[in-house]
Structure 1
Amino acid sequence: MGLILTDFFEPRSYDVEDTEVIVCDGCLAHLCLSSLVLSDQFWGLSGDAFLVDRLINILCEKQDLETSMRTGVYIINKIRCLQCSTKLGWHYKKSFKYSEYYKEGKYVIEKKYIRQIPNHSSTARLTEQAKLLKRRRSSASTTSS
């Protein structure tokens, strides 16, 4: 069985060099950009976690779970990596407490199951590298002729 088609964010999303890429610790599939982290003060079953606005390359389980947490009762769906099925956290589907409505539609990813890597692929940097390689190839072909 081959890999499932992997999604990436829009190229311009990677342009900010201090933005880190959050990836699955199991297979390094892109999950999120650090600019989409809303809070790093969340807690998951395994410890520290991030609250994030958007994720890619995940599988959201269909089963709705009513779960009691420190801040109230929620309906959640567990999430896994689309590539390797590593458990990652959960998706807040519904909050029963008005003060916690801001979590609805957001995701919690546990730090134990992810890795943050530097963003070395800004579009501007890749364009410059491509131009440099093109010049090298063209100068190499003229000297060898």
Structure 2
Amino acid sequence: MEAQAPEENAAAAAVDAVTQMTNRFSAINTNDADAGPLKLDDVDGNVYSCKHCRTHLAVADDIISKSFHCKNGKAYLFDKVINVTVGEKEDRMMITGMHSISDIFCVGCGEIVGWKYGAAYERSQKYKEGKFALDRERAYCIHQSEIYNRFQVTP
């Protein structure tokens, strides 16, 4: 058997990670390459969505902390989010010190919905690296009962 190049290993690992994450989600139409954003209609629990276009962004089970703040007020720290694009990295002075941050944008409407932590320069802040903060002024919670009612198929 032939050894894989490091690029192939990285690509395979990325595909595996995406596959594991999307096993929790169902696409609108998996046969259509332009199907649009993923919908979190098959999860147990609450879903956080973009306030502008209602694109699903995260599930409540992935919240790490609700005690974050941003210029608009509250922010929640999530382990993972979906349906976002990540902007350019830049160093920003946050309340807890200097961090390498990238704004995250909703794929549905292009609005900034929060940020992704790249590097944290303070040892005590390293747990944030690779995590996502959603601005609560730009993302709202849809309760599970609303999700069930919205996506329930009627005969």
Fold-level similarity (TM above 0.5) = yes
Secondary structure, counterpart of 1:64 in structure 2: strand
The answer to whether the 8 Å contact 2:46/2:59 transfers is: yes
User: Deviation digits for residues 121-142 of structure 1, max 9, x if unmatched?
Assistant: 46xx95xx77xx4xxxxxxxxx
Q: Which residue of 1 aligns with 2:66?
A: 40
Moved over 6 A (4+): none
Cα gap change, 1:10/1:118 in structure 2, threshold over 3 Å: closer, same or farther? closer
Kindly indicate whether the alpha-carbon contact (under 8 Å) linking 2:68 and 2:76 is maintained by their aligned counterparts in 1: yes
1:55-103 alpha-carbon deviations (Å, 9 max, x no partner): 1011111x21101111111001011111101111110000011110000
Q: Give yes or no for contact 1:92–1:103 (8 Å, CA) kept in 2.
A: yes
**Greater relative CO, 1 or 2 (CA 8 Å, sep 6+):** 1
Matched-pair contact (CA < 8 Å) for 1:4–1:82: no
- Amino acid corresponding to residue 113 of structure 1 in structure 2: R
Measure how far apart 1:10 and its partner are: 8.4
Larger Rg: 1
CA-CA distance at 1:8 after TM superposition: 3.2
Cross-structure match for 1:49: 75
Q: Which has the higher helix share?
A: 1
Contact 2:46 2:60 in 1 (8 A): yes
SS in structure 1 at match of 2:144: coil
Tell me the residue number matched to 1:29.
55
Percent sequence identity over aligned pairs: 25
Q: In structure 2, what is the Cα distance between the partners aligned to 1:66 and 1:94?
A: 9
What is the TM-score with the length of structure 2 in the denominator?
0.70
Indicate the residue corresponding to 2:24 in structure 1. Answer: none
Asked if structure 2 preserves the Cα contact closer than 8 Å seen for 1:47 and 1:112, the reply is yes
Structure 1: runs of 5 or more not aligned: 134-145
Query: Is this contact kept in 2: 1:65–1:75, CA < 8 A?
Result: yes
Name 1:139's counterpart in structure 2.
Answer: none
RMSD: 2.1
Is 1:5 matched with 2:36?
A: yes
Alignment match, 1:97:
122
Report the CA distance shift for 1:47/1:4 in structure 2 as closer, same or farther (over 3 A): farther
Contact 2:40 2:47 in 1 (8 A): no
> In the comparison of the two structures, how many residue pairs are matched?
119
